[in-house]
Chains A and B, each alone.
Chain A
Amino acid sequence: MSTGVLGTEKRGIRELGAEEKVGWDEVTRGVVLNSFEGDASNVAHQKAEERQYADFNSYTATVASWRIIKPVYNRDICIDCQNCWVWCPDTSIISRDKQMLGIDYDHCKGCGVCVEVCPTNPKSLLMFSEAKEQEEALAEWPEKKKKEKK
């Protein structure tokens, strides 16, 4: 887990389902879950790292252990088109001011949609084994494919 823009203090700090199991007298009334601690009036204008996420917010849970293959991001090729950000079903593409920064590996489930929609040649996102180190993956990045002549 890293902190800062790419991973805040609260992001993914617990496995989904590993919360403390309180008794009937302590559960919330009506299964109501707070999203944030304190006054959240301004939350829409805050970046994730500024928000006071509540403990039950899914932001604080990680599902990373489900993943078998992961997308790796190559900054050198990316054109910041935001396609992956738009398409990611789990809001796991971290982007600031329309600049792609990286992947939220606490919530990414490894579906590969970001790779599919990436328009660059070679792709700026590629799927690798979960166990593969980032540097190793980048070293294996393929060359630009030449257009085949008819």
Chain B
Amino acid sequence: MAKEFELNEVEVWDGNYAASQALRQAQVDVVAAYPITPSTPIVEGYGSYVANGYIDGEFVMVESEHGAMSGCVGASAAGGRVATATSSQGFALMTEVLYQASGMRLPIVLTVVNRALASPLNVRGDHSDMYLGRDSGWIQLDAFNPQEAYDLTLCAFRIGEHLDVRLPVMVHQDGFTTSHKAQNVTPLKDDVAYKFVGDYVPVNDMLDFSRPVTHGAQTEEDWHFEHKARQHKALMDSRTVIDEVLSEFKSLTGREYNRVESYYMEDAEVAIVALGSSVETAALAAKQLREEEGIKAGVVAPRCFRPFPYDLIRETLDRPTLKAVCCMDKSAPGGAMGALFNEVSAAAYTTASRPMITNYIYGLGGRDFAVEEAKRIFKEQKAHADAGHITTPIQQFSGVRGPRLGFFETRRG
């Protein structure tokens, strides 16, 4: 039996430590990991909890991230509660197995500390790895600060393991900005947290010798499509379960989470849509701009990146006051508009108000996103709103040195 860990009512934890504590409280059975900066302390923490008797589980050392996720797939198929952590290059190496995990419907929890992808080699945070996972069939939740990294990791087990879902879940946090920033975190007591997460309920576990099963069967064109369709349906339908779990978490803790978070959107004329730690900074900028200059700025943030909340994004953007929206992508889009721009545009296309939408690529490789930069972007949206058309290229780069960089002009106005 695992020992109880003494916790203060308020702790000062960084995002990594917060996530590792959530893994401990969920009493994860197996972590197979190949640690990588900046997510190393998460699995290091798990290892130390196992070694010191705070978890009755097993840390499996493997030879690569590909091996790490493969170990997780095996342990999860065997019937255990399984989690691991990774970042960047490690995430990229894991990618092949991510698709196996979701296709096999294994509710593994992967805490991803977002970091740029090389080249150039870089350990700091951007969303390249998070975006790399967006077609992998995993649920992707996004934490904006250490408290949320803790809360959402606990919720991730509930969501993924729900018998109507049975899908793997990633909990993202920004490398360094969140993972290495200590803030006030209010943890749950061990027994309360475990009760919320609940006992693991195995489904088709390979260690059930009374019911031998084949996992990872091969299909060709005669079966593959139907299986992928069923998997996609499960992912789309997980929205209901995500809402339920978040709502139950709120009644337990008072902390409210939504699949789409919005700040000051009630009467907003201009808005930023962003992910990760930038959301809080942008919301602070919106508040200050409202007070200082009367600009009605708001912020929209998909808390749940997959399944993408088209329903709630559309609801949030469908207001007559809203004129101009800037979607901010913290990942080099490789010859396209940013992913957030594409998806938010798709959601907004069917709204009555159809705001103007532009795209900023920003923050690559951990470039700081300051309040002043958010304000500048809000003001640029205000200029679009006042002019009645987009006054800049549709896609631009923000915070990069050198001549102004932008692509595609609008044909409206």
A–B contact (CB under 8 angstroms) = yes
A residues with a Cβ closer than 8 A to B are 17, 21-25, 27, 29-36, 39-41, 43
Q: A-facing mask of B194-215, CB < 8 A → 1, else 0?
A: 0000000001100001111111
Interface residues in B299-349 by Cβ distance below 8 A to A read: none
Specify the chain B residue showing the minimal Cβ separation from A57: B214
Query: Across the interface, do A40 and B212 meet the contact criterion of CB distance under 8 Å?
Result: yes
| Residues of chain B lying within 8 A (CB to CB) of residue A41 | 209-210
Query: Nearest-CB distance from A70 to chain B (Å)?
Result: 27
Expressed in whole angstroms, the Cα–Cα distance for A36 and B209 within the complex equals 11
Q: Give CA–CA (A35, B213) in the complex, Å.
A: 6
A34 touches B216 (CB 8 A): no
Q: Name the CB-closest residue of B to A33.
A: B214
Q: Please determine whether A32 and B213 come into contact, CB atoms closer than 8 angstroms.
A: yes
Interface of B is mostly: loop
8 A Cβ contacts from B227-251 to A = 227, 229-230, 233-234
Verify B214–A35 contact, CB threshold 8 A: yes
Q: Once bound together, how far apart are the Cα atoms of A35 and B215, in whole Å? A: 11
23 A-B interface contacts by CB (under 8 A): A17-B222, A24-B226, A24-B230, A27-B227, A29-B105, A29-B166, A29-B204, A30-B105, A30-B204, A30-B215, A31-B104, A31-B217, A31-B219, A31-B223, A31-B227, A32-B105, A32-B214, A33-B214, A33-B217, A34-B211, A36-B211, A41-B210, A43-B212
Judge whether B106 is part of the interface by a CB distance below 8 angstroms: yes
CA distance A32 to B105 in the complex (A): 9
Q: Count how many pairs of residues, one from A and one from B, have CB atoms less than 8 Å apart in the complex.
A: 66
Q: In angstroms, how far is the closest chain B Cβ from the Cβ of A30?
A: 3
Contact present for A40 and B230 (CB under 8 Å): no
**Residue ID in chain A nearest B206 by CB atoms:** A32
B363 close to chain A: CB less than 8 A: no
B103 at the interface (CB under 8 A from A): yes
CA of A36 to CA of B212, assembled, Å: 7
Least Cβ–Cβ distance between A80 and chain B, in angstroms: 30
A35 touches B212 (CB 8 A): yes
Q: Which residues on the A side are within 8 Å of B215 (C-beta)?
A: 30-32
- A29 neighbours in B (Cβ, 8 Å): 105, 166, 203-204, 230, 234
Given A29-B105, A32-B215, check contact A23 B226 (CB 8 Å): yes
Q: Report B-chain residues with C-beta under 8 Å of the C-beta of A22.
A: 226
Task: Assess whether B210 is in contact with A30, with CB atoms less than 8 Å apart.
Answer: no
- 7 more A-B contacts (CB under 8 A) besides A23-B226, A33-B217? A25-B230, A25-B233, A27-B223, A29-B203, A29-B234, A31-B104, A41-B210
Inter-subunit contact B230/A27 (CB<8 Å): yes
| B166 and A30 form a contact (CB under 8 A) | yes
